[in-house]
Amino acid sequence: MPAPRGGPNVSAQIVPSCSGNRSALGDRHCLLTSSMASRSAACRASWTIGREDASCRGAGWDDDEWHDVTDPVKDAAASRLAAAQAEFDSEVVYLNTASLGLPPRRSLQALQEVLTQWRAGRASPPDYDEPLAAARASYAALVGVDRANVAVGSQVSVFAGLVAAALPDGSEVLTVSGEFTSIVFPFLAQAERGIRVREVPLEHLADAVTARTALVAVSAVQSADGRLADLAALVEAAAATGARVLLDTTQAAGWLPIDASRFAYTTGGGYKWLLAPRGTCFFTVQPELADRLGPAHRRLVRRC
């Protein structure tokens, strides 16, 4: 067993198996990685933030695994990590958030409460307004727009359909080869009034914007393979010709910083990196363009 470390308010011991495995977060992270798998979430959280919890003793905690604060910055990072980990309970090593995010403990609890109320005949529609407003405000803050310019809906394809319906007859829509169908098919469905969809490789997207392009429809992160669009180049190219951009944030919002204010429209499903239930979707529109969308969307934006 290595000697305890010294210093102000420091009394730490390192488990031997960690001695060759210190990473960015230092000893604390080493202890986390070596111990977390076998610990209950509650014990893991209370151990990581450095507070001794008597109930953890019975769960197999050894005295020499208690680790006091050695660095406030590292400690804060470890605490946040532990609090986040304590929100999840997957029974497997889960790596499929790009398909379906897992619900955090607090979301599950909120959903269960609402379902119980509904089943008991005690649900009232206005009760849903507050959480809906909170979700809109959170999403607005996440993507850097005013909440008045965020709508909540059910699916990306529905919002893309609203954008498609607002295009003038004969418009050209530029998109990426292999792009997710939800932001391509709603435009193909308007072919009979002359809407044309042109596909180019992702890496040529910005260069392919021309004066004939009315709209560019693209995902910030490609669903098929995770490639990132060059959004700075796209915004510049679109500004030069007056084209608008519909950005799909489904595979991005939640882990990749997005500034939705730079795009005419953005839309993103909530059930992946935002860890929301299926059937949750967000849409943003630049304020000056809101009135040009169809009546259904206008009502949605104004009402909420």
Identify which of residues 183 and 237 has a Cβ nearer to ligand PLP in the complex.
183
According to DSSP, the residues that pair with 283 across neighbouring strands are: 151, 267
Closest C-alpha among 166, 115, 146, 117 to residue 298: 166
Smaller CB distance to ligand PLP: residue 59 or 158? 158
Told to check if 163 binds ligand PLP by CB under 6 A, we report: no
Among 85, 97, 155, 286, binds ligand PLP (CB under 6 A): 155
266 scored as a contact of ligand PLP (CB under 6 A): no
Least separation in angstroms between residue 284's CB and ligand PLP is 15
Instruction: Verify binding: residue 97, ligand PLP, rule CB under 6 A.
Output: no
CB of 74 to ligand PLP, least distance (A): 35
In DSSP terms, 175 is beta-bridged to 199
Tell me how far apart the alpha carbons of residues 152 and 158 are, in angstroms, rounded to a whole number. Answer: 11
Of the pair 48, 157, the CB lying nearest ligand PLP is at 157
Q: What gap in Å lies between CA 260 and CA 238, rounded to an integer?
A: 15
Answer yes or no whether residue 248 interacts with ligand PLP by CB under 6 A: yes
Q: Please, how many CA atoms are within 13 Å of residue 95, restricted to the half-sphere of its CB?
A: 1
Is 268 in a helix, a strand, or coil?
A: strand
Furthest-apart CA atoms within the chain: distance in Å: 77
Choose the binding region for ligand PLP from 8-16, 57-65, 135-143, 153-161 (rule: CB under 6 A).
Answer: 153-161
Task: Using CB under 6 A, count the residues that bind ligand PLP.
Answer: 12
Q: Does 157 bind ligand PLP (CB under 6 A)?
A: yes
Closest CA relative to residue 17, chosen from 25, 27, 7, 4: 27
Q: What are the φ and ψ backbone dihedral angles of 95, each rounded to 5 degrees? A: -125, 20
Which C-beta is closer to ligand PLP: that of 48 or that of 223? 223
Q: Which stretch binds ligand PLP (CB under 6 A): 6-14, 71-79, 135-143, 243-251?
A: 243-251
Q: How far is CA 112 from CA 23, 278, 297, in A?
A: 39, 15, 30
CA dihedral sign, ordered 59, 65, 70, 71:
negative
Each residue 191-220 as x (binds ligand PLP by CB under 6 A) or -, in order, gives: ----------------------------x-
CB of 250 to ligand PLP, least distance (A): 4
Rg over CA atoms, the chain: 24
Return the residues of window 107-136 that contact ligand PLP according to CB under 6 A.
none
21-60 residues near ligand PLP, rule: CB under 6 A: none
Residue 196 per-residue DSSP state: E
Tokens standing for 247?
């950005």
Provide the mask over 272-301, with x wherever binding to ligand PLP is found by CB under 6 A and - wherever it is not. Answer: ---------x--------------------
Q: Which is nearer to ligand PLP, 26 or 186 (CB)?
A: 186
* Cβ-contact 78, 48 below 8 angstroms: yes
Q: Which residues contribute to the site for ligand PLP (CB under 6 A)?
A: 155-157, 180, 182, 219, 223, 248, 250-251, 269, 281
